[in-house]
Amino acid sequence: MISIYDTTLRDGTQREGISLSCDDKIRIAQRLDDLGVAFIEGGWPGSNPKDVEFFQRAAAMHWKHAAIASFGSTCRVGGDPATDPNVIALLDARTPVCTVVGKTSMLHVREVLRTEPEENLRIIEQSIAHLVGQGRRVFYDAEHFFDGYKEDPAYAVRTVQAAFTGGAEVVILCDTNGGSLPWDVEAVVSTVRSRVQGQLGIHCHNDGECAVSNSLAAVRAGATQVQGTINGYGERCGNANLISVMADLELKLGEHCLPAGHLAQLTDISHFVAEIANLAPDEHLPFVGKSAFAHKGGIHVAAMRRTTKSYQHCEPEVVGNRMRIVVSELSGRGNVAAKAEEHGLEGHKDAAISNVLSEIKELESRGFSFESAEASVAMMLKRQDPAYVPLFELVDHVANVEHREGRGTFAEATVKIRVQGELAHTAAEGNGPVNALDRALRKALAPHYPAIERFHLADYKVRILDSHNGTEAITRVLIDMQDGVNRWSTVGASANIIEASWRALVDSVEYGLLVVAPKADAR
């Protein structure tokens, strides 16, 4: 069993652009506990009031799987752990686990601590011994271990021995600068393991893009604890991505690190932490990204339709993800046929699929992109059905933007549509022309299709495709619509941003009314 030590709440927050409130940290810790990690590092209690509050609240909570850990450093050079503010703060946090960081590298001993090698060994051993004497489980983070080992292997090993002498339960070898390579990590961990008595762990940074590989290499060499962060968040280039580490441990190395069946939570927790951190999820992350099991090339999709093992290294459901077939100008007939099946349109004839494929290729040459606009593809397929009747038809629309003294800038739109044999003519104001058109369209449709009241615009993206043409450039618009449970995307493109937006908006509304609303009503 490999124990997973999550440091998202401390090391992860050292990434530029991340700042978590105490409530944020509590929510993430609860989800990590549900996932089943063994240890959750809450922060550095001596560094800021927010971390002090976290540990106070965590101490009063029930944790099903995880032990909460506080993080701090050894006592000061020449000091006594019993009176050192850092060590006292660790004890005041009242966590069952205390993780202490200290120096391994002779460079840091001489130039950063500015002390003698023997004094560094003393403060390591005595700091740990004092915490153990107070009834705490103690982990020791051997900072800059791999760099220190290159400088002076014998001294690096002595720092590990000092930690174990002090009573450390696990000594974690840290690739703090993130520059080690997997074969070196495996060799060093194997050597250290042969020279000390006690459990070893691994803590890698990703500056050389090897943090996950280095963590797995350390496990191969005998490490029994892996430290890292969700999504690899962390200072500089980040830490080892625990999402990938946990999936690789379980699926590739056969090492258990989570309760049975909990691996399926990985996609959900990856997105959850990204949302709390106010960062867009990385859609290309291994295992959990939206594109991790997305298939675009026609040859790939043709093979996938015969066996999913042809272009997938594992079943996406195992990690809580799903396979997707992407439609674009690179698609073959299989892509479109798969998309038809996905949307319950299996009855489409070959000619209809060919028509849609030709239309996609032609539209993408004009600036459309259907990879992220699956609802637009679904509507193209539906419109090939001879029995298809549009829910509404545009007669005309007008959008104006005005500036008036005392009121500022605003937009007004009028929409005339034919719906269920009636002509509806409505007007609405908005903070921009697209917003005004959206409101006017909703006003016209609501009496006939009340479900539209549940829809709201979740995202609106605009991209200029040929900026060298200046204000005459083609504009691509992507719209994400949501009804509280479901989310769907549509696309439009034109040299006129209003036309592009209108096409995406119409697809989005019609897809929601035809596909999403009936399923929601059935529930």
Q: Residue 31 CB: number of other CB atoms within 10 A?
A: 17
End-of-domain residue from the set 411, 426, 448 = 448
Q: Which residue reads 């028509």 in tokens?
A: 355
Residue-wise DSSP of 70-115: EEEEPPPTT--GGG-HHHHHHHHTT-SEEEEEEE--HHIIIIII-S
Tell me which amino acid residue 511 is.
Y
Same-domain pairing of 17 and 115? yes
Q: What angle do CA 343, 345, 346 make, to 5 degrees?
A: 120
Q: Looking at the structure, tell me whether residues 66 and 106 fall in a common domain.
A: yes
* Residue bearing tokens 């190395």: 253
| 340 and 372 assigned to the same domain | yes
Q: Is residue 514 part of a domain?
A: no
Domain boundary among 326, 346, 377: 377
Query: Looking up tokens 């490490």, which residue turns up?
Result: 223
Compute the distance between CA of residue 357 and CA of residue 364 in angstroms, rounded to an integer.
11
Amino acid letter, 484: G
Looking at the domain assignment, is residue 416 inside a domain? yes
Distance CA 31, CA 37 (A): 10
Same domain? For 189 and 230 the reply is yes
CB 314 within 8 A of CB 286: no
Number of separate domains in the chain: 3
For the chain, the distance separating the N- and C-terminal CA atoms, rounded to the nearest angstrom, is 42
- Average pLDDT value for the chain: 89
Low-confidence stretches of the chain (pLDDT beneath 50)? none
Is 102 a domain residue? yes
**Are 368 and 247 contained in the same domain?**
no
CA–CA distance, 201 with 216 (Å, rounded to integer): 11
Residues 219, 87 share a domain: yes
Whether 333 and 427 map to the same domain: the answer is no
User: Is 8 part of a structural domain of the chain?
Assistant: yes
The CA distance from 262 to 277, in Å, is: 23
Whether 492 is in a domain gets the answer no
Answer whether residue 368 is part of any domain.
Answer: yes
Residue 210, SS3 per DSSP = coil
Q: Out of 448, 479, 507, pick the residue that ends a domain.
A: 448
CA dist., res. 158 & res. 160, Å (int):
5
Residue 237, in any domain of the structure: yes
The DSSP secondary structure of 220-272, one letter per residue, reads HTT--EEEEBGGG--STT-B-BHHHHHHHHHHTS----S-TTGGGGHHHHHHH
Residue 304 forms part of a structural domain? yes
Picking from 129, 56, 65, 114, the residue whose alpha carbon sits closest to that of residue 89 is 56
User: Residue 455: helix, strand or coil by DSSP?
Assistant: coil
- pTM recorded for the entire structure: 0.73
Using alpha carbons only, what angle is made at residue 159 by residues 154 and 163, rounded to the nearest 5 degrees?
A: 145
Looking at the structure, do residues 112 and 201 belong to the same domain, yes or no? yes
- Which residue range forms the structural domain that includes residue 74? 3-259
Residues 443, 353 share a domain: no
The sheet that has 408-419: what strands, in order across it?
Answer: 393-404, 408-419, 422-430
pLDDT at 456: 87
Same domain assignment for residues 367 and 414: no
Q: Under the phi-then-psi rule, with left for phi > 0, alpha for psi from -120 to 50, and beta for the rest, what region is 397? A: beta
Instruction: Please write down the HEC assignment for all residues of 375-412.
Output: HHHHHHHHCCCCCCCCCCEEEEEEEEEEEECCCEEEEE
CA-CA distance, 171 to 143, in Å (whole number)? 10
Residues 330 and 235 in one domain: no
Work out the angle at residue 475's Cα, subtended by the Cα atoms of residues 471 and 481, and round it to the nearest 5 degrees. 140
20/77 same-domain check: yes
pLDDT of the residue at 280: 82
What per-residue confidence (pLDDT) applies to 496?
A: 85
